[in-house]
A and B are shown apart, each in its own frame.
Chain A
């Protein structure tokens, strides 16, 4: 498409003279525009959600203030927010990476669960004898979580690469399968006393937290932020490096923009599909591991309030940039944390939907500019 691409919208019959609004295709996108439209979309979303809350009988301002206070108001709640953000960072990175290549990984939720299962298996089967020091147990759990997530992600990757099967549906179906798999183990072989949870993990399988150092640093008392946050931040740096400084990342970006050009350039798109899906799954799997080893300390049926789905929105808000994912993840961690107390329970999901809609609607402004002109008919 050249710079002179024609773009007139069809004129509709029967328009009255006066002012008119026209959408005109943009030639270039100023640097600041994506940030502005994102910010604008978020503001619009908050306003719309506020309106809906008001209609539903709530007080939007009070609710928003409450959300802010209960997530950032003190060191304690900030720590809780970060705990909620940790799995979102990793699953957000998983989605952002896959989406960069136009691989719609809607299965981060399932890969998260499989990662949690794999990490738990190390302790519950057990794969290492009880009492093994954490210096061995933790890395083993990490590897197990990542491997399970990667394998689970490789399935849709393989099917798409080899047979062109629609990955959206496959990953979604696998989400349900993963939950059922987890349920079997939690209700069955690993069940503790017939309840739907496993026995608690031994302390060697707990990720270190800030509150562990409370004796040395009293301010850390009660802060449950755990090592998983570090996983997330390190992963963000690594993913950023991968995407923009490595050969592999260049290939991902090229495939995402034009698979045909990528093939022309000699890239094996099929192989890359499987690899990237596997990496994406591994990141989500690590998130699962970090949640069971850092927060819950056992395996149970409900370990995710939909992290894998929220991750999609997180990735989108971040415009698929790894550092943006960190920021968006913290914001949504806050929403999840505070959202637990909001009645009715569907409101956080609704707000998420409104935010996503605002974002994609705002993207039209990146392609077109609005022109107000006087019609001279």
Chain B
């Protein structure tokens, strides 16, 4: 129950949520709800792992896993943007499809042997900074460091650049953007695919860095949905999403660590005594997500924040609300 270990683990596995959430933030900021994150993560995970097993090259696995997520998202983009179908249902269909396809592809992978993971390193000077160093910069996968870079870049892109201005306009008021020559359809396609790529990356992060191995649906086990929830918690801000991702993952790790020791803070550990009680521990992350959403709903109402105004609504040129 060492806080440093817990937080470091949180940073490590939180990177998965982080990638998926940042990708979803891009898509939703453009106005498209993508609930297929779970399916895309599964595809990314299985393709990455399978490639690494087959070729022995985890980097190739990373690349292909990321692309797999992007490919799947194209389906969602076509159906929701060009065909203007209901985004919620399309996302669910994508989840079914992605998880089924992933299970098919991963049929024999659960018996695969060990693979070489992506390298882990320790950053020289930074890892010695007291408190922060051991958590963020010590013995973390390269993907974790990639995450550190991705978040501020995403924040900068969205809020401080011209393309980011267009992105936000497309999600808030596609009519206005369209009237000024911003190609709403093309931008939405682009950002949905970006979201898919990130989801694939997140899946690859699981099997190549965090918990290698293929266990069917359990490989991702709801992380995609948690990422979608984190986006709401983050109020569509990449930095807040990162904080949420790391914290959530740390809490999960803590709940695992609680089960181990015989004594917990000097008292007999109930989870050690009755192993069945750990099921309740397992509930906590999911209940926590619900609690967070409830808390955020109040805040959003108070501060009049909220989702991008056009989120979930297909854009059809020429239909104004009369």
Give Cα A198 to B93, complex, Å. Answer: 35
Minimum distance in angstroms from A3 CB to a CB of chain B: 12
Selecting from A115-123, A206-214, A230-238, A358-366, the interface stretch reads A358-366
* Binary CB contact string for chain A from 98 to 130 against chain B (1 if under 8 A, 0 otherwise): 000000101000000000000000000000000
Residues of A near B79 (CB, < 8 A) are 357, 360-361
26-40 of chain B: CB within 8 A of chain A? 35, 39
At the interface, yes or no: B294 with Cβ under 8 Å from chain A? Answer: yes
Q: Which of A67-75, A262-270, A342-350 sits within the interface?
A: A342-350
**B175 in the interface (beta carbon within 8 A):** no
Q: CB-CB < 8 A to B102: which residues of A?
A: 346
Least distance between B272 CB and chain A CB atoms (Å): 15
Instruction: State whether B84 touches A364 (Cβ < 8 A).
Output: yes
Q: How many A-B pairs fall under 8 Å by CB?
A: 152
Interface assignment of B96: CB less than 8 Å from any CB of chain A: yes
Is A131 an interface residue when CB atoms closer than 8 A count as contact? Answer: no
A177 touches B100 (CB 8 A): no
| Contact count band on A | 35 or more
Q: Which B68-107 residues have C-beta < 8 A from chain A?
A: 75, 79, 83-86, 88-90, 92-107
Asked if B97 and A354 make an inter-chain contact with CB atoms under 8 angstroms apart, the answer reads: yes
Which residue, of A166, A343, A349, has the highest number of chain B Cβ atoms within 10 A? A349
The verdict on A47 contacting chain B, using a C-beta distance below 8 Å, is: no
Mask, B254-296, CB within 8 Å of A = 1, is 0000000000000000000010110110110011011001100
Question: In the assembled complex, how far is the CB of residue B15 from the closest CB belonging to chain A, in whole angstroms?
Answer: 21
Interface contact B317-A10, CB-CB below 8 Å: yes
- Chain B residue contacts of A343, Cβ below 8 A: 107
Could you tell me if B294 and A350 are in contact, using CB atoms closer than 8 angstroms?
no
Interface size class of B (residues with CB under 8 A): 35 or more
Whether B84 and A164, one on each chain, are in contact in the complex, defined by CB atoms closer than 8 angstroms, is no
B contact face: mostly helix, strand, loop, or mixed: helix
Cβ of B322 under 8 Å from chain A? yes
Within 8 A of A (CB), among B202-248: 222, 225, 228-229, 232
Q: Is the CB of B286 within 8 A of A346?
A: no
- Which label, helix, strand, loop or mixed, suits the secondary structure of the A interface? helix
Q: Does B318 contact A (CB under 8 A)?
A: yes
Cβ of A6 under 8 Å from chain B: yes
In the complex, chain A residues 148-186 whose Cβ is within 8 Å of any chain B Cβ: 159, 163-166, 168-170, 172-174, 176-177, 180-181, 183-184
- Does the CB pair B279–A187 fall under 8 Å? yes
Can you list 30 A-B pairs with a CB-CB distance of less than 8 A?
A5-B319, A9-B317, A164-B297, A164-B301, A165-B290, A169-B225, A169-B228, A173-B225, A173-B289, A174-B290, A176-B283, A176-B286, A180-B280, A183-B279, A184-B279, A344-B107, A347-B104, A349-B100, A350-B100, A351-B100, A352-B100, A353-B94, A353-B97, A353-B98, A353-B99, A353-B100, A356-B93, A356-B97, A361-B83, A364-B83
